Structure 1
Amino acid sequence: MRIAQIAPLYEAVPPKFYGGTERVVHALVEELVRRGHEVTLFASADSRTSARLVPMAEGGLRLTGARDGLALHMAMLEEVYAQADRFDIIHSHVDYLAFPFARHSPTPTLTTLHGRLDLPETRRILSRFPEQPLVSISHSQRIPVRDLSLRWQATVYNGIRLEHFPFRQEPEDPPYLVFLGRISPEKGPVQAIEVARRVGLPLKIAAKIDPADRAWAETHFLPLLDTPGVEYLGEVDEKAKAELLGGALALLFPIDWPEPFGLVMAEAMACGTPVIAFPGGSVDEVVVDGVTGIVCRSRTVEEMVQAVRQVEKLERAACRRHVEENFSSAVMAERYEAVYRRVVAEARGETVGVPFEEGFRLRMPPPPRPRQGGGLGKGKAEPTAWGGEGRAQ
């Protein structure tokens, strides 16, 4: 199949540092090429891909500092649809920006919505283009717009390249916790620091600070870096991220927003690292509570502290299996192939079945088995060897 993939221009594909959507696009493109598809990627010039690359910006806009990113995206879309007859399907990852072009193109467009859908402006634009074939990245992502008549094709969970996130049977000794992503109030870095302080474990933070969040970070986050045991690493590349996640006792994910997917949860579990999270958005779809992590229903720091003290009982191999079966690039590509076939067949006027309205079901791991030994770190028999308000012993 001849497939055009439209990536956001804010980061390279794959991104050098932060960039969830661009990382997902890279994983999908590489797997589709491996499966024999003819893939053309519209992305920034510094992207690395096995597909045919059509460069549409000098580099990722966030790092190059381009002043009008919207103009460059619109120019890219004009180029994509000028070449539309070269493709069987166009797969857009730039949210609703392609809708006006897609409406007038004989080549079908499939749009994966990667962001939150609970904003009134988003509802308004989606309601104007009800004919556009859509994919959600979690079932929960659709909830804010469930009253709109939209043309959902499937829920396809994001996938990662498993070879980039090697499995670790045991965390590092002495143990530490990790927070990874973006420094902003809805991501919960302040709560993560308080959890680590109360439980007495080091916390490693690898995250970017966007200009929009700089004022908040300077008031609420940066002063907390004097907390003993807290280490702020800034943004890290994928290799460093895998090492950081794999060595951690747990990933802290104290979110306060409707997370559409949360790729770092899958990345952590691929390394064997359980996720301790507040509920919200996709969390209960990605994390199997009590098996691959712990979901803190009361959304309190105290409950998360107690979860840290229990997390070593979870089997790290179960975390890896869960990602292999549900969130790998191979699984993601296979599911997109099914959607592509349906959308292309429908555009050709062929008889097709109903859309995959229920999405693709997760393959759930079995209930947890008690771990032998207990304790945090080698040779420690009881979790009470650390904890309280002080440092790890």
Structure 2
Amino acid sequence: MRIAQVAPPFETVPPAGYGGTERVVSVLTEELVRRGHDVTLFASGDSRTKANLVPIVPRALWRQDPPTNDFAAHRASLFGKLLQHLDDFDVVHSHLDYHGLGLAGLCQAPFVATLHGRLDIPNLLATYRAFAELPLVSISNAQRRPLANANWIATVHHGIDLCSFDFSDTPGDYLAFLGRISPDKGLDVAIRVARRAGRRLIIAARPPLAFADDPEARCDRAYYEETIKPLLREPGIELIGEVAGPQKSALLRGALGLLFPIRWPEPFGLVMPEALACGTPVVAFGEGSVPEVISHGVTGFVCDLEEEMGAAVGRLPDIDRRRCRLEAEQRFSPSAMA
């Protein structure tokens, strides 16, 4: 089958650091190539793939100097390049969220969109309703709630490259946090929980990018400067920057547990199955997809309150790390996703 995979241009595919959507697109693309499909990947020109690569932009937008967050300026270029290749595909698979919905009207081939972002933003609901007939794939059942009547054809949980994550049954004594530094991700909660539990916390994250014209980026930057920076001075709290590849695997497999105290209905937190693949249980708030990914008391603990999270840290040694790895292999492999 001739398949077009259309990725966002913000990060490379796969990303050098943070970039959950791009990482998932990479895993899916390479699995489809492995199965013998003829796959074309529309992504940034510095992406790495065994598929046919059609560059949307020469270099990922967040890797430019200075980085840019303006996708609108590049949308026309993307649509133009797709138009040049429309007759080449049996199916077009968009990973652009609402940005990609307009592509459907240009495509002669069947079109499907996997939505990776949150859907509870009021000013986006009308946009999605305008494309009510388009076939959509959700990445968790929880993601569907704001658009329950959309044309959902499947829920497909993210898959990960299991070979990139080494299992360990003998972790260290620290806790880990991986993700954006944002109020939504709850890093301040993770720091307080680790301090109260008497555990070191290693934070793998980059400071928020300074996009002055992006309200969300400004909010993240203020949170970092005003809330997180003072907490980083606490003993046992270490910020090491972004990690990827072997560094990420080493950090996760050496952790007693992963803290995932999100404050928003995250459609899918990719770091959860990545941790499970290393045998590392997850302690998380029960927002978004968390209850679909983590089995309470089996592969981690799903909590409602910060105090419960602190108590759960004390129970992490009771979790069977081999069961965590097995869960990742059975539910979050590339073959399960593809």
For residues 102-251 of structure 1, the aligned pairs below 5 Å read 102-146=104-148, 148=149, 150-172=150-172, 175-210=173-208, 211=210, 212=217, 213-251=220-258
Q: Distance in 2 between matches of 1:182 and 1:159?
A: 20
CA distance 1:51–1:294, change in 2 (3 Å): same
**1:304, distance to aligned residue in structure 2 (A):** 1.0
| 2:331 is the alignment partner of 1:326 | yes
| 2:40 is the alignment partner of 1:35 | no
Q: Which moved more, 1:133-142 or 1:233-242?
A: 233-242
Partner of 1:352: none
Q: Distance in 1 between matches of 2:69 and 2:237?
A: 35
For residues 217-273 of structure 1, what are the alpha-carbon distances to aligned partners after superposition, in whole Å with 9 as ceiling and x for unaligned?
100001111110000011112221111011000000111100100000010001000
Q: Distance in 2 between matches of 1:159 and 1:51?
A: 18
Which structure 2 segments of 5+ residues have no match? 211-216
The answer on whether the counterparts of 2:10 and 2:69 sit within 8 Å (CA) in structure 1 is no
**1:127, distance to aligned residue in structure 2 (A):** 0.3
Q: Distance in 1 between matches of 2:122 and 2:328?
A: 33
Q: Distance in 1 between matches of 2:337 and 2:53?
A: 21
For residues 181-239 of structure 1, what are the alpha-carbon distances to aligned partners after superposition, in whole Å with 9 as ceiling and x for unaligned?
01111111001111111111110000123231112210000111111000001111222
Identity level (%): 53
Q: Distance in 1 between matches of 2:79 and 2:271?
A: 29
| 2:306 is the alignment partner of 1:306 | no
The answer on whether the counterparts of 1:103 and 1:132 sit within 8 Å (CA) in structure 2 is no
Partner of 2:294: 287
The answer on whether the counterparts of 2:113 and 2:137 sit within 8 Å (CA) in structure 1 is yes
The one-letter code matched in structure 1 to 2:98 is Y
The one-letter code matched in structure 2 to 1:256 is R
Partner of 1:257: 264
For residues 20-59 of structure 1, the aligned pairs below 5 Å read 20-59=20-59
Q: Distance in 2 between matches of 1:287 and 1:272?
A: 13
- Taking structure 1 as the reference length, the TM-score comes to 0.81
CA distance 1:137–1:217, change in 2 (3 Å): same
The one-letter code matched in structure 2 to 1:234 is G
Q: 3-state DSSP class of the match of 1:3?
A: strand
Q: Distance in 1 between matches of 2:69 and 2:164?
A: 33
Q: How many residues align?
A: 327
The answer on whether the counterparts of 2:83 and 2:106 sit within 8 Å (CA) in structure 1 is no
**1:74, distance to aligned residue in structure 2 (A):** 3.0
Q: Distance in 2 between matches of 1:326 and 1:158?
A: 9
**1:78, distance to aligned residue in structure 2 (A):** 2.4
| 2:15 is the alignment partner of 1:10 | no
